[in-house]
Amino acid sequence: MPDLSSIAPAGVVETLQDHWHTLLDGLKVTLELSVFGGAVAFVVAVVLGLAAISRLAVVRTVSRIIVEFFRGTSLVVQLFVLVYVLPQATSVGSHPLLFCVIALGLNYGAYGSEVVRGSLNAVPPGQWETTTALSMSWLTKIRRVIWPQAWALMLPGLNNLMVMLVKGTAIALFIGLPDLTSVGDDLRKSGVDAWTVYGISFVLYYLAALAFSAFLRHLEVRAQRRLGIRPSKVKTAQATAEAVA
Amino acid sequence: MPTDKTDGAGAPDLSKQSGAAVQTGPDFDGNGRPRIAFEDVSKQFGKNVVLNDLNFNVAKGERVTLIGPSGSGKTTILRLLMTLEELSGGFIYVDGDPLTHRKNDAGKRVAMKPKEISVIRKRIGMVFQQFNLFPNMSVIENITEAPIHVLGQSKDEAREKAKKLLDQVGLGDRAEEHPTRLSGGQQQRVAIARALAMEPEILLLDEVTSALDPELVGDVLGVLRDVANSTDITMLLVTHEMQFARDVSHRVMMFDAGHIIEEAEPDAMFSDPQHERTKKFLQAIL
């Protein structure tokens, strides 16, 4: 990579040449945690968000308690409980990657449920009333009318959370998973220049976050278009930048 | 049944019985059951009592206009019928069937289950002041959505019926358009077609022209006139369009503070109001 060497500090090119395999493995773990953690978080957010607007007080209360618990306690402690307490107390065995995905999913899902709830509530009351006037069942009104509108509203908030989740996957370090942060740290310990290692990490995290954010913004644009809103390209770029920042 | 569907002059026989015979519940009169019966209906929002022991009947095919100052409870009556508000007390019957609450064997008032309510509610349709078209669907999808997913019609059947309805409201060429590209008057005509697609026995019209620019009101009222003249759908209207009320309704009920203070055929009501409050109200708006 001759061009890169002329602009980048010499150590960066060398480090990349020597350790790209290690770094790539770390990035892979980070991306796995992001994708699966994000997927679990999304499911949790939708279920808890819908439960939060249920007609049944019991369902609302249960949702509230779960959300408060996972938002109000430390993600790291939640992770430790899963990794160190659960295998002792039960016979589920030890699955660090899976436990990390679950911890991320529950924690960010709890935050996400607030975004989902807020977006569902932000769909104008007239839309809800019309679904009642047309005698739609709960499932039909949510699936066909309310959700497509709430979806466009919730994507900016979910986008923010997704970017935070990508960066938050670094807690994997605490339980010894070889993610990007972890392998970077190991490289530093093995004598590679700290600035170089962390600089590379910064860039890789940023690019990963950017990719997820751009994808979600793409979904947002599509959802808006279906509602007859024409999003501008400038706004798209701006929203992506804001989400990553 | 209405004997006269076209000129609106001959009010169906049951229209004069309001408030009187509604004591014992569903099966109270010999001439067939009224389409709508309110029995001791109360509604309060917090401490604010909007309706208190309201009784009236609406006959099959009858078209009734509710007038009165804002806050007099007109819209609340429509919303109670559409089950958008919960009844605080009393009963509403549709064709003699309880809508949201019924008396159990011991004569106690009990709330019905959502499933039971939805069966009766399907007989009722409503058009709102703000149109409320679904922005995530095209014009024709707005109309076919409920027939497909609620009535179980096939997509083809629903689309065919929707196209006829769109022709009827003068928007046959806008079927695939997005609702936001339509004017307010056109959106409201789609909303009327959407309500009619459910083939309701009762149509509730809640100030359907109040949000429209004056020049768009005529088209919407024209469509409603057609519906009134070509079907025997029972209609309950809240409107400030007095000429329209006069033309299409069999009966006008004047509300004040949740009570019917006067009711009459439209000609009598508008030319010779009896109650002082009605006179003042009509003077103010005519």
Instruction: Calculate how close chain B gets to A164, using CA atoms only, in Å.
Output: 30
* Closest C-alpha to B29, from B11, B13, B40, B52: B13
For position A12, what pLDDT does the model report? 79
* pLDDT digit string, tens, across residues A39-69: 999 999 999 999 999 989 999 999 999 999 9
At position A48, the amino acid (one-letter code) is: L
Q: How far apart are CA B271 and CA B279, in angstroms?
A: 10
Q: Are B79 and B284 in contact (CB under 8 A)?
A: no
Q: How far apart are CA B203 and CA B35, in angstroms?
A: 11
Quick one: how far is CA A103 from the chain centroid?
12
Instruction: Calculate how close chain B gets to A125, using CA atoms only, in Å.
Output: 9
- How far lies A147's CA from each of A82, A116, A215, B31, B146, in Å? 33, 10, 19, 47, 16
Instruction: Calculate how close chain A gets to B178, using CA atoms only, in Å.
Output: 7
- How far lies B268's CA from each of A60, B8, B265, in Å? 53, 14, 6
Band of residue A234 on the pLDDT scale cut at 50, 70, 90: low
Fold topology of B13-120+249-285 = Rossmann fold (3.40.50)
* Residues in a beta bridge with B101: B111
Q: What are the residues whose beta carbons fall under 8 Å from the beta carbon of B280, sequence distance 6 or more?
A: none
For position A16, what pLDDT does the model report? 83
Band of residue B6 on the pLDDT scale cut at 50, 70, 90: very low
Tokens of B239: 């409107």
* Closest C-alpha to A13, from A210, A202, A199, A188: A199
Q: What are the residues whose beta carbons fall under 8 Å from the beta carbon of B90, sequence distance 6 or more?
A: B38, B39, B40, B41, B42, B53, B54, B101
B147, closest residue in chain A (CA to CA): A134
* pLDDT digit string, tens, across residues A83-116: 999 888 888 888 899 999 999 999 999 999 999 9
Do the chains contact at B146 and A134, CB–CB below 8 Å? yes
* Phi and psi, residue B107, nearest 5°: 85, 10
A136, closest residue in chain B (CA to CA): B150
Tokens of A43: 């499911």
For position B11, what pLDDT does the model report? 40
Given a cut of 70, whether residue B273 has pLDDT beyond it is yes
Share of chain A above pLDDT 70, in %: 89
- How far lies A48's CA from each of A41, A67, A97, in Å? 10, 8, 24
Do the chains contact at B146 and A135, CB–CB below 8 Å? yes
Q: Where do the structural domains in chain A lie, given as residue ranges?
A: 22-244
Helices in chain A by DSSP H: which ranges?
2-7, 10-52, 57-72, 75-80, 86-89, 96-122, 125-133, 138-140, 147-168, 180-189, 194-226, 233-244
Q: Which position has the higher pLDDT, A58 or B11?
A: A58
Half-sphere exposure of B209 (CA within 13 A, CB side): 21
Q: What is the DSSP secondary structure assignment for residue A170, as one 8-state letter?
A: G
Q: Are A109 and A38 in contact (CB under 8 A)?
A: no
Prediction ipTM score: 0.86
At position B144, the amino acid (one-letter code) is: T
Q: How far apart are CA B54 and CA B68, in angstroms?
A: 15
* pLDDT digit string, tens, across residues A202-225: 999 999 999 999 999 999 999 998
Q: What are the residues whose beta carbons fall under 8 Å from the beta carbon of B67, sequence distance 6 or more?
A: B74, B238, B239, B242, B245, B252, B253, B254, B255, B281
By mean pLDDT, which of B12-21, B159-168, B232-241 is the weakest? Answer: B12-21
For position B90, what pLDDT does the model report? 95
Environment class of B197 (CB within 10 Å of its CB; exposed 0-12, middle 13-18, buried 19+):
buried
For position A11, what pLDDT does the model report? 75
Do the chains contact at A136 and B146, CB–CB below 8 Å? yes
- How far lies B158's CA from each of A118, B152, B154, B165, in Å? 34, 9, 6, 10
For position B26, what pLDDT does the model report? 33
CB-nearest partner of B135 from A132, A133, A149: A149
A230, closest residue in chain B (CA to CA): B180
Q: Which residues of B touch A145 (CB under 8 A)?
A: 134, 136, 145
Fold topology of A22-244 = MetI-like fold (1.10.3720)
Band of residue A238 on the pLDDT scale cut at 50, 70, 90: low
Q: Which residues of B touch A133 (CB under 8 A)?
A: 82, 84, 124-126, 128, 195
* pLDDT digit string, tens, across residues B238-267: 998 999 999 999 999 999 999 999 999 999
Q: What are the residues whose beta carbons fall under 8 Å from the beta carbon of B169, sequence distance 6 or more?
A: B189, B190, B192, B193, B223
CB-nearest partner of A148 from B136, B146, B179: B136
A1: helix, strand or coil = coil
Given a cut of 50, whether residue B7 has pLDDT beyond it is no
B48: helix, strand or coil = strand
CB-nearest partner of A133 from B126, B145, B179: B126
At position B284, the amino acid (one-letter code) is: A
* Residues in a beta bridge with B184: none
Instruction: Calculate how close chain A gets to B128, using CA atoms only, in Å.
Output: 8
Q: Which residues of A touch B125 (CB under 8 A)?
A: 133-134
Do the chains contact at A227 and B135, CB–CB below 8 Å? yes
Do the chains contact at B83 and A132, CB–CB below 8 Å? yes
Q: What are the residues whose beta carbons fall under 8 Å from the beta carbon of B77, sequence distance 6 or more?
A: B38, B51, B54, B66, B236
A224, closest residue in chain B (CA to CA): B136
Q: Which position has the higher pLDDT, B153 or A242?
A: B153
Q: Where do the structural domains in chain B lie, given as residue ranges?
A: 13-120+249-285
